[in-house]
């Protein structure tokens, strides 16, 4: 949690780990399970006004997160204390999990849902036995999972910044949250932007959406633009003549025979290999996305 007035990191510095997190999620869950999260948690289920009883409200919002993530036998015991971070969860065998939230949320209730989205996702991943080595990468996995499965839009909406103060929850940059939410939006045709109460969140989502759409228009995908297609054709000629495969793009050629090209699936980032023979249709073996390619 960024302190008021602190500098907030922007851009896509953790993009490789974010993409690896999406791939790991598909490998652990399968496409069928991911598809069950087609509807995000709705704002009404996590709304928290100053008139609500603090502890009853916290339990209500935590329950909404538990139900959304299909943790029916998990009970969240939430308390508040002074701490540096937004929250902390004690991961054990369950069924009770103890979550501590920063005491500042007692007076900033609108962001309690965002903090709980992150902490309850820790429980979800713990039960899945899915983790990355190292605290930093594991926290990025948690934020990515929350955003991709439908609760993490709250974490982006908690990002606010003006000339006097700033706040951001989670380990991803605002633009990285926007990227993951955009990947989800393109998959499920769900636009989260009407739910944002923060103008800065909307701007970060727009930047993430631009990058997510770019993922779907990179060669050898048929939707690639003219510049990308021209570069791809040049690299393909080099590969056909036996020169080393280029390293500047996502794709890589394999001399074979026959000549083939590999590239990341725009949905799950699993690498796909197809023959170089013009127009081909490929299906990702991990997320089952069907892709039109021009190789």
Count CA atoms closer than 13 A to 98's CA, side-chain side: 5
Helix (H, G, I), strand (E, B) or coil at 100: strand
- Please name the residue ranges forming H helices in 241-274: none
Tokens encoding 279: 């127009």
pLDDT the model gives residue 65: 96
CA dist 14 and 176 (Å) reads: 8
pLDDT the model gives residue 1: 46
φ/ψ of residue 87, rounded to 5? -170, 175
φ/ψ of residue 130, rounded to 5? -115, 120
pLDDT the model gives residue 81: 92
φ/ψ of residue 63, rounded to 5? -65, -35
Tokens encoding 67: 């139900």
pLDDT above 60 (res 246):
yes
* Per-residue confidence band for 140, with pLDDT thresholds at 50, 70 and 90: very high
* Per-residue confidence band for 243, with pLDDT thresholds at 50, 70 and 90: confident
Partner residues linked to 175 by β-bridges: none
Tokens encoding 138: 């594991």
Tens digits of residue pLDDT in 40-78: 999 999 988 888 889 999 999 999 999 999 998 889 999
What is the rounded average pLDDT of the residues 121-142? 96
pLDDT above 90 (res 153):
yes
Tokens encoding 171: 């380990």
Contact criterion met (CB below 8 Å) for 3 and 167: no
pLDDT above 90 (res 148):
yes
Tens digits of residue pLDDT in 8-45: 899 999 999 999 999 999 999 999 999 999 999 999 99
pLDDT the model gives residue 162: 76
Tens digits of residue pLDDT in 187-227: 999 999 999 999 999 999 999 999 999 999 999 999 999 99
The mean pLDDT of the chain is: 92
pLDDT above 60 (res 166):
yes
Task: Read off the DSSP letter of residue 221.
Answer: B
CA dist 76 and 100 (Å) reads: 10
* Per-residue confidence band for 248, with pLDDT thresholds at 50, 70 and 90: low
């Amino acid at each position: 949690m960024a302190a008021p007035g602190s500098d907030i990191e922007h851009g896509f510095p953790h993009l490789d780990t974010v993409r690896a997190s999406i791939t790991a999620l598909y490998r652990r869950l399968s496409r069928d399970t991911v598809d069950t999260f087609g509807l995000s948690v709705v704002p009404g289920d996590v709304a928290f006004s100053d008139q609500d009883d603090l502890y009853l409200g916290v339990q209500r919002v935590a329950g909404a997160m538990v139900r959304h993530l299909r943790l029916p036998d998990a009970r969240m015991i939430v308390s508040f204390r002074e701490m540096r971070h937004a929250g902390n969860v004690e991961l054990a065998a369950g069924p009770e999990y103890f979550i501590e939230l920063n005491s500042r949320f007692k007076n900033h209730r609108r962001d309690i849902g965002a903090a709980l989205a992150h902490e309850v996702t820790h429980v979800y991943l713990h039960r899945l036995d899915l983790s990355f080595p190292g605290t930093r990468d594991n926290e990025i996995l948690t934020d990515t999972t929350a955003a991709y499965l439908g609760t993490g839009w709250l974490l982006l909406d908690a990002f606010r910044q003006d000339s006097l103060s700033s706040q951001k929850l989670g380990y991803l940059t605002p633009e990285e949250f926007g990227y993951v939410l955009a990947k989800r939006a393109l998959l499920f045709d769900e636009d989260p932007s009407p739910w944002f109460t923060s103008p800065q969140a909307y701007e970060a989502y727009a930047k993430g959406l631009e990058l997510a759409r770019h993922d779907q228009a990179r060669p050898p995908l048929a939707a690639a633009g003219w510049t990308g297609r021209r570069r791809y054709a040049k690299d393909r000629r080099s590969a056909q003549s036996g020169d080393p495969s280029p390293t500047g793009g996502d794709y890589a050629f394999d001399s074979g025979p026959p000549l083939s090209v590999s590239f990341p699936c725009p949905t799950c980032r699993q690498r796909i290999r197809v023959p170089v023979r013009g127009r081909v249709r490929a299906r990702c073996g991990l997320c089952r996305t069907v892709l039109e390619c021009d190789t």
